[in-house]
A and B are shown apart, each in its own frame.
Chain A
């Protein structure tokens, strides 16, 4: 298996633009997580899906952020409109059992 695949790896966008991050979890995994990592706040959980259903979105910072999981093999995290403070590395992770989570390589987002 290729592991968790995220795209794009890098994204530079202007403030106010819409940004969509994509994630393909490992086949057979039924849990998917979106994390955001910054120097100031560390690794924060944004949202967690189980069997394609959002279970906990309490970490989503505000209404500008939205996430979807239309099927078991694809998820998106959308920011609209983007702001400079959204600049961070966004990780997607998936797991099957409540033990090991496998992280993707991340998307480095820069909002200028």
Chain B
């Protein structure tokens, strides 16, 4: 079953923060975050493997609440290069294949 992402779209100014949520009615075994720029392939951002885990690089971080079956992606002090569509994917690690959410379109304006 496809995870649900919110919001569907967000527009912000350079330097502002954003949060993208990913939730599932089924258990989330692992959460993978990808970003896709227009006309390009999705690019891996990070993976969270267990509840309570938090990760981040640069000013993009994520958390995983296993009990609530949700994950959140945090973009701090957004840059123009952050624009794109963000997808969360989930699946059993043993199976490897992912089911992706419908995506959140993020637009950062100067």
Contacts and interface: CB of A to CB of B under 8 A. Distances in A.
A, B: real partners = yes
Interface of A: 31, 33, 42-45, 48, 50, 55-56, 91, 95, 98-106
8 contacts: A43-B42, A45-B100, A55-B97, A56-B97, A91-B42, A98-B30, A100-B44, A100-B47
Nearest to B101: A42
Contacts of A105: 40-41
Q: Is the interface of A mostly helix, strand, loop or mixed?
A: strand
Interface stretch (B9-17, B64-72, B76-84, B88-96): B88-96
A99 B98 CA distance: 10
Contacts of A42: 2, 87, 100-103
Contacts of A31: 96
B43 interface: yes
A101 B93 CA distance: 12
B47 A43 contact: no
B44 A98 contact: no
Contacts of A50: 96
Given A91-B41, A91-B42, A100-B44, A43 B87 contact: yes
